[in-house]
Structure 1
Amino acid sequence: MKKILSCFMAVIAGLPIVNAADYYVSPQGNDNNPGNIEAPFKTLKKAIESARAGTTIYLREGKYVPENNEIMREGAEGAYSCVYNLSAKGTAENPITITGYENENAVIDLSNVKVSERIIGFYVKADYWRLKKFDIIGIQVTQTGHTQSINVGLFGGNNCIIERVNMHDGMGIGVYATRGSNNLVLNCDAYNNYDPVSENGKGGNCDGFGFHLNRNDYTGNIIRGCRAWRNSDDGYDLINNHSQVIIENCWAWENGYDADRVSRGDGTGFKSGGYGMSSSVKEGTVAPRNIVRNCISWSNKQAGFYANHHLGGLDFYNNSSYRNKRNFNMVNRKSIEEAVDVDGYGHDLYGNLSYRPTLSDADCVNINTSQSTLTNNSFLPSMSLSDTDFESLDASQLLSPRKDDGSLPDITFLKLRPGTQPYVNKLGYQFDKNETSGIESIFTNPDKTADDIYYNLQGMPVANPTKGLYIHAGKKIYIP
């Protein structure tokens, strides 16, 4: 028997590895076709059902309009009908990919999917999926109570990448995650999303991006290079999130409004906390330390950056906030036992720039400065800023087309002019916290002259500097 088994294994080992097939889908295709480039499938459902590790599904130019009979899964999470059920597992070497074909524009229009359940466009429960370079529009809501629909839902998939997927002009959340590790949302846009059906149309369930991980071991999740605007609730929302999420190089503007800029839901640009807002939080647990860095928040209805009653500290590094009601609102909850708002504690704010909040004296509010770390920001203490410190205050640049690789466009909006004090201090989104160019070495015992101006690390001029660390002529100076 052992000899037979050994021979069998030898034969198997000698067989060539069969590569997974790639499939093509086109609105002009037919599901009876073989699914190749010459004879593509018609529905994405057919291609997903045929996919396995290593498969790439190419979406050809055009609009795909699935109907109710194409729903791949019902009753998911006890509440959702899932148009596309991504349940086959990929691997690190052989992920499963759904992508727009070359430079063609593929649009998934979910407006004809109308069922009694909540709706998810792409239900991602398996590992190593890649969604790339297509649009999702028109997702519906049919329930009038408290509910939500979701364009892309991460419900257990790990090591997935959602890249250059634009989710807009629908009634649902862009990307929504409750489970999974090492997932990346990259260079995606979510905009003009408003639910007029549920809860009398208040629009409180349409965020651009929401990560609400329900366990503290779902680690390594990142939102990078994304834009969120005119979502009727928030741009980015981390309420009830149990594990750290990093949001970096992202933009948010005019959230809390619908596409016509009618006021709707909450309207926060970056709702960066909220651990402790649900009954699932138990005594002795530790709030995740979410990180928001190098982001822009402009003209959101409420806060630009918001701690949202978090039960601990958050990190805000080199962000720029302009013309929000409150540019930075760091309010925390007192404890698990006491649902009382207190000034924020444990936060770390470095290199942040606030300019002209619409509410007076609201550059950074509700923060306990003795229990938080504030270093080199334009506030607390306040730095004198003017329009001339900026290369541009033209916010229309935020809508500029992305680069060919999907990365954010190069803009001058809210960028600081070289030579200005906030530029010398390296404030705002254009600088990295760990970057040293521009303020390179530390010099000791400089020659002081009557014409020189020295600044403290908060950017305030110091008439007679004594022992300590200062900024002078673009360099850090230590006077012993």
Structure 2
Amino acid sequence: MEARLKFAVALGAALVLPAAVQGADYFVTRQGNDANRGADWATSFLTVQRGVDALKPGDTLTIGPGEYPENVKLHGFGVPGKETLIRAELAGTVVLRGDRDVDLDFAQVPGRRFVYIADCKMDVLSVHEVDTLTNLAPAADPGALEFGPARYWHDAEAGKLYLSTSDFQPATCHRYTIGVLRDHGVDMLQCRRVVLDGLAAAGYRTAVGKEGLLLPTSGFMLHQTEQCTVRRCTAFFNGSGITINSGVGGRTDQPGEGKGNLVEDCRAFANRLDGIVAYNPSGETIRNCQSFLNQTYGARFYGGRAGDAVCLMSDVLAWGNPGADFWTKGGGLSEYNEAVLAERCIALRDCNFGNFQHGIIGGRNVYRGDRPHTIILPGEHEEFHQFNDAHFADPMNFDFRLQATSSFRQSGEGEAASGPHPYKADIYHVKPGGNDDLDGLSLAAAWKTPSRAVARLKPGDTLYIAPGRYAGDLALTASNICIRGRGIEPVVIEGGLRLAECRDVSVERLQFSGPARAIRGGNIELANCVLFGQSVEAEQVEGLRLNHNLLVASLRLVGCSGVILNGNLHAAAPAVQTDTRQAVRYSSYN
């Protein structure tokens, strides 16, 4: 009896223990109040900083959709044995902003061709031309604006903002935001095991005091952090996008205690310096990220490498970064090193990285070293596009998986393929001059009829439809497939779209002349499509996502749940008709 009692007590303790050690949950919303206790959505905090201040190691902070005009600091927080999570309720819908939207009444300065002026009483720390992803540079005086594009000068005393646009067109042709907050968006110093998930940071470009060389004002700054993660985050219009500095200070000869940090599934663009950078790296990893159209660099390891742990970039796409898409520089970084590695990465401009394996390089690489099985793209413009079009699935939209006819395929079993993606027979093509009797695995052997093509797809397949006009409807019942327009020219389906009992299906970059309808199913996405038909309907669909589409007719929802509507243009009113308001989980920027 005593033994049974001891066993029962021990079992009960084991069952209770997980609940005892589980961290607390806190919540932030735009409708909250910092005087609340933040323990649920009904009592949520208003600011992210208040939510962060409430955390203890192992806790979770969930942030509701919206824009949060604030700086967030987390210093000396965390322990190695507990992971703390700071996350968006819905990834990509939480934006920390150091800038403000402005609607200024610009007028051309008399006697000047390219200088525009507007009343602006606010403090101006930076100016961003949003529609062209351009950071305007400060000028010494308003006269200098006449001789250079993308510059600004603020007369704080008179409350006047002068600028020249990026393309010398009138300022009324563009949209601007103005930086108003100093310091980083998220500033983490000496933190342990903290995860940032699904957040965005924009407009943080100005330091409080003098900016350190390796501590640029950033959307996300991780300084001397250990085993921290930035996941599914976006950074734009900052000094730098996502910055890790594992050293003590702002110099390259100051190694610190930071190590083992991770940046994954993130995007960084239109930042002044770097998209993603790890200074004084010690076992840092950057993977599955995109860094593009930054003013200087895409992705970098810089400074002095500390310790023996591998510094890794994997599956990173970088393009349009004038300084270089990839760059390593400093002690233990500049020369070839097996422990400083880029694998399956793509650079469409210069790539200064010694150990670059199974990648694609579109510019020069000034470093000597092994680049086994890396594809070097041609330099001439016309040859560049012809080469890419012949070898890759959809290079204009950055899908660099191989076509069946590519010479970079692995030659046999056990042979290594060139480039980041070994060939798999799961990508099919349709073009106006195709032949439905061919295998469809390359543009040269493309099918002709989209309706016949979709009937042949298997789970896991992708179908690319080349630009042109195609007769008939696109109707399918399928799971786990992608149907995409190829390239950037219009792909017009002259019939409608019908998805019946589909799951995990995405349709992208297509125009439909007829009605669009989804009936039963789940996890269905339409992105960058034009729906010209007189009806757009979804019935009994769980997890419908419409992103950046143009709809001529009203969207009608019946029996749906978990619907996400983001960045769509609606030509009809009402834009959405639904049998219950609970059908739409998130709707914004429409």
- TM-score, shorter chain, exceeding 0.5: yes
**Counterpart check, 1:210 vs 2:210:** no
Deviation at 1:135, TM superposition (A): 0.9
Deviation at 1:115, TM superposition (A): 8.9
Higher relative CO (Cα under 8 Å, sequence separation at least 6) belongs to 1
**Counterpart check, 1:296 vs 2:346:** yes
In structure 2, do the counterparts of structure 1 residues 233 and 131 end up closer, same or farther at CA, with 3 Å as the change threshold? same
Tell me the TM-score normalised to structure 1 length.
0.57
C-alpha separation in 2, matches of 1:137 and 1:290: 30
- State, as a whole percentage, how many aligned pairs show the same letter: 18
Alignment of 1:74-473 (within 5 A): 83-92=72-81, 94-102=82-90, 105-111=93-99, 119=184, 121-141=186-206, 148-179=216-247, 180-194=258-272, 206-213=273-280, 218-219=282-283, 221-243=284-306, 244-256=310-322, 267-275=323-331, 289-298=339-348, 300=349, 303=350, 305-307=351-353, 314-322=354-362, 324=363, 326=364, 328-330=365-367, 344=368, 347-358=369-380, 386-387=387-388, 389-392=390-393, 394-395=395-396, 397-398=397-398, 411=399, 414-424=400-410, 426-431=417-422
Q: Tell me the equivalent position of 1:41.
A: 45
C-alpha separation in 2, matches of 1:422 and 1:156: 42
Deviation at 1:176, TM superposition (A): 2.7
Higher strand share: 2
Amino acid of the structure 1 residue aligned with 2:313: I
In structure 2, do the counterparts of structure 1 residues 289 and 21 end up closer, same or farther at CA, with 3 Å as the change threshold? closer
In structure 2, do the counterparts of structure 1 residues 286 and 169 end up closer, same or farther at CA, with 3 Å as the change threshold? closer
Deviation at 1:277, TM superposition (A): 9.2
Deviation at 1:388, TM superposition (A): 5.9
Check conservation: 1:110, 1:121, Cα contact below 8 A. Answer: no
Please give the root-mean-square deviation of Cα atoms over the aligned residues, in Å: 3.5
C-alpha separation in 2, matches of 1:351 and 1:95: 38
Q: Tell me the equivalent position of 2:513.
A: none
SS at match of 2:52: helix
Of 32, 53, 60, which aligns to 1:29?
32
C-alpha separation in 1, matches of 2:352 and 2:336: 19
In structure 2, do the counterparts of structure 1 residues 88 and 388 end up closer, same or farther at CA, with 3 Å as the change threshold? closer
C-alpha separation in 2, matches of 1:120 and 1:103: 17
SS at match of 1:420: coil
SS at match of 2:292: strand
In structure 2, do the counterparts of structure 1 residues 123 and 388 end up closer, same or farther at CA, with 3 Å as the change threshold? closer
C-alpha separation in 1, matches of 2:404 and 2:21: 58
Check conservation: 2:219, 2:239, Cα contact below 8 A. Answer: no
Amino acid of the structure 2 residue aligned with 1:190: A
Amino acid of the structure 2 residue aligned with 1:87: G
Q: Tell me the equivalent position of 1:407.
A: none
Deviation at 1:191, TM superposition (A): 0.5
5+ residue gaps, structure 1, are 1-12, 72-82, 195-205, 257-266, 279-284, 308-313, 331-343, 364-384, 399-410, 439-480
Amino acid of the structure 2 residue aligned with 1:25: V
Deviation at 1:238, TM superposition (A): 1.3
Amino acid of the structure 2 residue aligned with 1:21: A
5+ residue gaps, structure 2, are 1-12, 101-124, 126-178, 248-257, 412-416, 426-590
SS at match of 1:33: coil
SS at match of 2:303: coil
In structure 2, do the counterparts of structure 1 residues 116 and 287 end up closer, same or farther at CA, with 3 Å as the change threshold? farther
Tell me the TM-score normalised to structure 2 length.
0.47
Deviation at 1:391, TM superposition (A): 3.2
> CA deviation digits over 1:119-156, x for unaligned, max 9?
46322421100000111111122579886312222222
Amino acid of the structure 1 residue aligned with 2:343: R
C-alpha separation in 2, matches of 1:232 and 1:100: 28
SS at match of 1:421: coil
C-alpha separation in 1, matches of 2:181 and 2:234: 25
Check conservation: 2:226, 2:260, Cα contact below 8 A. Answer: yes
C-alpha separation in 2, matches of 1:242 and 1:420: 38
In structure 2, do the counterparts of structure 1 residues 127 and 133 end up closer, same or farther at CA, with 3 Å as the change threshold? same
In structure 2, do the counterparts of structure 1 residues 162 and 101 end up closer, same or farther at CA, with 3 Å as the change threshold? same
Check conservation: 1:137, 1:170, Cα contact below 8 A. Answer: yes
Aligned length: 310
In structure 2, do the counterparts of structure 1 residues 386 and 95 end up closer, same or farther at CA, with 3 Å as the change threshold? closer
C-alpha separation in 1, matches of 2:59 and 2:211: 40
SS at match of 2:246: strand
C-alpha separation in 2, matches of 1:116 and 1:44: 15
Deviation at 1:59, TM superposition (A): 0.5
C-alpha separation in 2, matches of 1:192 and 1:208: 8
Check conservation: 1:23, 1:47, Cα contact below 8 A. Answer: yes
> CA deviation digits over 1:431-460, x for unaligned, max 9?
39xxxx99xxxxxxxxxxxxxxxxxxxxxx
